[in-house]
Chains A and B, each alone.
Chain A
Amino acid sequence: AQTVTQSQPEMSVQEAETVTLSCTYDTSESDYYLFWYKQPPSRQMILVIRQEAYKQQNATENRFSVNFQKAAKSFSLKISDSQLGDAAMYFCAYRSDNQGGSEKLVFGKGTKLTVNP
């Protein structure tokens, strides 16, 4: 079974600075997707960024980028120019790309990010 580990329960960053959130995962599959979700106090799960495992190029979305190391099974999220609105819980998630299998997401336990003004 796949597992996702986020080793940092809490992180903090100064406004306008850069922060990196760590995520490692365990799988025997070669094809899969990785995601970062943001959960603000409203509880809404918001997709931040996704990465297809077959793509070598790291995904980027504006101030958010990932460092995907497939061999090391590592998928970290970098937030540049941090803003107060970035404060939230961040969850790393895995989904198999095995057609015919379940499309379920496997989540890590989350990292609580605080942004200091």
Chain B
Amino acid sequence: NAGVMQNPRHLVRRRGQEARLRCSPMKGHSHVYWYRQLPEEGLKFMVYLQKENIIDESGMPKERFSAEFPKEGPSILRIQQVVRGDSAAYFCASSPAGWHTEAFFGQGTRLTVV
């Protein structure tokens, strides 16, 4: 059973471009979480999705950021018009349905905005 797969591992974007980060959850997992890790910081929650639904987006910046988890395919975190402050490592975690379950993390995507 493959783990949580994130791609790309590294992404470089110029200011003003769009960044698309992909997360394929573990097989059988229907819950996806996105976290952002700034340099020298812990992970900060961004958004929690289930298939075709956003459950909690309290950690998402109000503008330029969006996330989806379609019925088929990976979850996508999209950042429009990137700025230098968006440079960070973005982690995805997944868990199966139901409470009292563990979330498993991917290896993250390091976004660098130049």
Contact = CB atoms under 8 A, between A and B. Distances in A.
Contacts of A28: none
Contacts, number: 59
Interface stretch (B19-27, B39-47, B65-73, B74-82): B39-47
Interface string A76-115: 0000000000000001010001010011111111100000
Contacts of B7: none
Interface in A20-62: 37, 42-47, 50
Dominant SS among interface residues on chain A: loop
Interface residues of B, number: 26
A108 to B, nearest CB: 5
Contacts of A109: 40-42
A104 B102 contact: no
A50 B100 CA distance: 11
Contact of A45 (B43, B59, B95): B43
Interface in B39-59: 40-45, 48, 55-56, 58-59
Given A102-B55, A104-B56, A109-B40, 11 more contacts: A37-B105, A42-B107, A43-B110, A44-B105, A45-B105, A91-B42, A97-B99, A104-B48, A104-B58, A105-B43, A110-B41
19 contacts: A37-B105, A43-B89, A44-B108, A45-B91, A45-B105, A45-B108, A47-B104, A50-B102, A91-B42, A102-B45, A102-B56, A102-B58, A103-B33, A103-B48, A104-B58, A105-B33, A105-B103, A106-B45, A108-B42
Interface of A: 4, 6, 37, 42-47, 50, 91, 93, 97, 99, 102-110
Interface of B: 31, 33, 35, 40-45, 48, 55-56, 58-59, 89, 91, 93, 95, 99, 102-105, 107-108, 110
